[in-house]
């Protein structure tokens, strides 16, 4: 099967068109040629794979400038290199102003053409790689990484959407294992600071005598063992986001210093004499009742009110049981892929069981349970007897066959047992739209309101998974 063309060569002169195509192909680049710019546009509407068009400026019918304008007006993701005669250089320069990527004059230096085309494609590959990595970051740390369709989670997502673009400090409250750092990451990824650093520090995991240096930094010789200057997290998070987990574990003296930083937006390194301006967004998290900590004298009231400009409460897993099958299915797929296991699904009784369990460790515990199942279970369908021993014991399932689920639980669709996952729904929508547009990827992407690169990536996945024929 021939490689999809990366470059289109459009020229009504046969000799010129063929010589440019041959020159580009010598660089190992797939090319498709057209003698008519309108035919090239039709091809682009049906197949968005080309990255660059080398187009003659002077042609009958639709000329190079008209082709460029059509490409830009239709929102096609295509670079355009115009080829012009010496007397038309002013037109080429004007074309550059309205969106052409480059131009060459005739007679075309084929070596220079090959060099320009290769440089352009290298830049595009780099840009696409950056976009892909950005997408991976969004997938890992964006809103879509937080799974849940319950009313409680939808309310949380709406609060996050409103809060993320602002500069306000945020206090995230939730039990251990609910995903507080994931929420903090998502806020950062959806904020204007997303291109800057996200730094996290667990206030409860670092000894108090070291934590101050971690946050503020220190100068050489400021204490025994300070053999060099250290830049603290406040400085490193400049223009980005600083996440302080387990904020309730800050000892009193450091609470005072943190309050001063939040009010003045300046820090001084330990052993230093210079105040340093810092601009960071603070996101703090706790699994404790800070008002109770205040009442018992362990947390400063003034710092509490400075932190809780915006408070986000993450519901525990037991209060959103309808999300449990979705999360479990997600981690089953993830760990089956990671450990090279065949696909598994939750049986109806297993779904009822995991929804009945209290999950004191919340999402973290559920994640670990699914990985344990993937590692030890060899069958395709997960039954209650396949759940970790502590879960079976808590549900009274240890040592006896699993009982049929109650009618209320049985009404919940089992993941993979006739119920459609979000991935299934997405795939069906994409393939149906592609069919409705006659295979025209650009139009399909426009109707789906997704990027063309995203659509192409999805279609490749569907081919690899056997949902789409070559």
The pLDDT tens digits for 31-61 are 999 999 999 999 988 877 789 999 998 899 9
Q: What is the pTM of this model?
A: 0.60
Q: Is the pLDDT of residue 405 over 60?
A: no
Alpha-carbon distance 49 to 213, whole Å?
A: 52
Alpha-carbon distance 127 to 114, whole Å?
A: 20
Q: Which residue has the tokens 């797929």?
A: 333
Q: Is the pLDDT of residue 393 over 50?
A: yes
Whether the CB-CB separation of 76 and 442 falls below 8 Å is answered with yes
The confidence score (pLDDT) of residue 73 equals 85
Alpha-carbon distance 132 to 290, whole Å?
A: 40
- Kindly report the number of other CB atoms within 10 A of residue 405's CB atom: 20
The mean-pLDDT minimum among 1-10, 279-288, 387-396, 410-419 falls in: 410-419
Q: Which two tokens stand for residue 72?
A: 């830009």
The pLDDT tens digits for 223-236 are 777 777 888 999 99
Q: Is the pLDDT of residue 400 over 60?
A: no
Bigger pLDDT: 398 or 293?
A: 293
Sign of CA dihedral 118, 121, 126, 127: positive
Do strands 266-267 and 276-277 pair parallel, antiparallel, or not at all (unpaired)?
A: antiparallel
Asked if the peptide bond before residue 107 counts as cis, ω within 30 degrees of 0, the response is yes
Q: Is the pLDDT of residue 5 over 80?
A: no
Mean pLDDT of the chain: 84
Closest Cα to residue 443, out of 68, 40, 74, 67?
74
Q: What angle do CA 247, 252, 257 make, to 5 degrees?
A: 80
The confidence score (pLDDT) of residue 423 equals 67
Percentage of the chain modeled with pLDDT above 70: 87
Pick the CATH number of 318-410 from 1.10.8.60, 1.10.300.10, 3.30.70.580, 1.10.3720.10: 1.10.8.60
Q: Which residue has the tokens 């400026």?
A: 57
- Kindly report the number of other CB atoms within 10 A of residue 411's CB atom: 10
The confidence score (pLDDT) of residue 94 equals 72
Residues 6+ away with beta carbon under 8 Å from 84:
56, 57, 58, 64, 91, 92, 103, 104, 105, 106
The confidence score (pLDDT) of residue 106 equals 85
Q: Is the pLDDT of residue 284 over 50?
A: yes
Alpha-carbon distance 268 to 259, whole Å?
A: 14
Let me know if 122 is exposed, middle or buried by CB neighbors in 10 A (0-12, 13-18, 19+).
Answer: exposed
The confidence score (pLDDT) of residue 271 equals 86
Place domain 143-315 in its CATH homologous superfamily: P-loop containing nucleotide triphosphate hydrolases (3.40.50.300)
CA dihedral 203, 209, 212, 213 (to 10 degrees): -120
How do the residues of the chain divide into helix, strand and coil, expressed in percent and rounded to 5? 50, 15, 35
Alpha-carbon distance 139 to 454, whole Å?
A: 13
List Cα–Cα distances, 100 to 8, 91, 298, 351, in angstroms.
15, 11, 64, 56
Instruction: Determine the average pLDDT of the residues in 117-137.
Output: 76
The confidence score (pLDDT) of residue 105 equals 86
Residues of the chain with CATH 3.40.50.2300: 7-136
Instruction: Determine the average pLDDT of the residues in 124-153.
Output: 71
Closest Cα to residue 13, out of 33, 39, 31, 38?
33
Q: Is the pLDDT of residue 278 over 90?
A: yes
Closest Cα to residue 465, out of 346, 335, 373, 337?
337
Alpha-carbon distance 173 to 313, whole Å?
A: 5
- Kindly report the number of other CB atoms within 10 A of residue 90's CB atom: 9
The pLDDT tens digits for 75-91 are 888 899 999 876 556 76
Bigger pLDDT: 295 or 125?
A: 295
Q: Which residue has the tokens 């406040």?
A: 234
Residues of the chain with CATH 1.10.10.60: 422-464
Closest Cα to residue 291, out of 307, 276, 280?
307
The confidence score (pLDDT) of residue 377 equals 85
Q: Is the pLDDT of residue 178 over 50?
A: yes
Instruction: Determine the average pLDDT of the residues in 174-181.
Output: 92
List Cα–Cα distances, 161 to 164, 165, 282, 313, in angstroms.
6, 8, 17, 14
Is CATH 1.10.3720.10 the classification given to domain 422-464?
A: no
Closest Cα to residue 4, out of 461, 466, 460, 437?
460
Bigger pLDDT: 86 or 27?
A: 27
Residues of the chain with CATH 3.40.50.300: 143-315
Q: Is the pLDDT of residue 417 over 70?
A: no
The pLDDT tens digits for 326-375 are 999 989 988 998 899 888 889 999 999 999 999 999 999 999 999 999 99
The mean-pLDDT minimum among 127-136, 171-180, 190-199, 395-404 falls in: 395-404
The confidence score (pLDDT) of residue 414 equals 39
**At 243, is the pLDDT very low, low, confident or very high (cuts 50, 70, 90)?**
very high
The confidence score (pLDDT) of residue 91 equals 66
The confidence score (pLDDT) of residue 254 equals 92
Percentage of the chain modeled with pLDDT above 90: 49
- Kindly report the number of other CB atoms within 10 A of residue 388's CB atom: 15
The confidence score (pLDDT) of residue 418 equals 43
Pick the CATH number of 7-136 from 3.40.50.300, 3.40.50.150, 3.40.50.2300, 2.60.120.20: 3.40.50.2300
């Amino acid at each position: 099967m021939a490689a999809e063309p990366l470059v289109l060569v459009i020229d009504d002169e046969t000799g010129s068109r063929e010589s440019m195509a041959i020159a580009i192909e010598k660089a190992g680049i797939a090319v498709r040629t057209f003698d008519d710019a309108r035919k090239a546009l039709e091809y682009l509407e049906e197949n968005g794979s080309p990255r660059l068009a080398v187009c003659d400026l002077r042609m009958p019918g639709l000329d190079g400038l008209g082709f460029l304008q059509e490409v830009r007006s239709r929102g096609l993701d295509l670079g355009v290199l115009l080829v012009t005669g010496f007397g038309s250089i002013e037109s080429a320069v004007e074309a550059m102003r309205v969106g052409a990527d480059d131009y060459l004059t005739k007679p075309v230096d084929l070596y220079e053409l090959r060099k320009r085309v290769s440089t352009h494609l290298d830049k595009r590959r780099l840009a696409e790689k950056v976009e892909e990595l950005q997408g991976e970051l969004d997938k890992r740390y964006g809103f879509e990484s937080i799974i849940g369709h319950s009313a409680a989670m939808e309310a949380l997502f709406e609060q996050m959407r409103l809060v993320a673009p602002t500069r306000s400090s945020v206090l995230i409250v939730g039990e251990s294992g609910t995903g507080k750092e994931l929420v903090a990451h998502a806020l950062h990824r959806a904020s204007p600071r997303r291109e800057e650093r996200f730094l996290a520090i667990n206030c409860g995991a670092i000894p108090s005598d070291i934590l101050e240096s971690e946050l503020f930094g220190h100068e050489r010789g400021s204490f025994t063992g300070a053999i060099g200057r250290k830049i603290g997290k406040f400085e490193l998070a400049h223009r980005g986001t600083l996440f302080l987990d387990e904020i309730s574990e800050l000892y009193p003296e450091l609470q005072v210093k943190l309050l001063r930083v939040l009010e003045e937006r300046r820090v001084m390194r330990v052993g230093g004499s210079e105040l340093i301006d810092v601009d960071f967004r603070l996101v703090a998290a706790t699994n404790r009742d800070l008002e109770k900590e205040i009442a018992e004298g362990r947390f400063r009231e003034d710092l509490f009110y400075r932190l809780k400009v915006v408070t986000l409460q993450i519901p525990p897993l037991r209060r959103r049981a309808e999300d449990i099958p979705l999360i479990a299915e997600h981690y089953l797929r993830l760990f089956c892929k990671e450990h090279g296991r065949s696909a598994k699904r939750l049986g109806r009784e297993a779904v009822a069981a995991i929804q009945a369990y209290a999950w004191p460790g919340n999402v973290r515990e559920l994640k670990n349970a699914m990985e344990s199942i993937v590692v030890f279970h060899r069958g395709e369908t997960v039954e209650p007897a396949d759940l970790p021993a502590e879960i079976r014991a808590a549900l009274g399932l240890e040592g006896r066959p699993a009982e049929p689920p109650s009618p209320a639980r049985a009404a919940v669709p089992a993941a993979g047992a006739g119920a459609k996952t979000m991935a299934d729904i997405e795939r069906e929508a994409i393939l149906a739209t592609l069919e409705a547009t006659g295979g025209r990827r650009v139009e399909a992407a426009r109707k789906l309101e997704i990027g063309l690169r995203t659509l192409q990536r999805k279609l490749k996945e569907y081919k690899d998974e056997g949902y789409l024929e070559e």
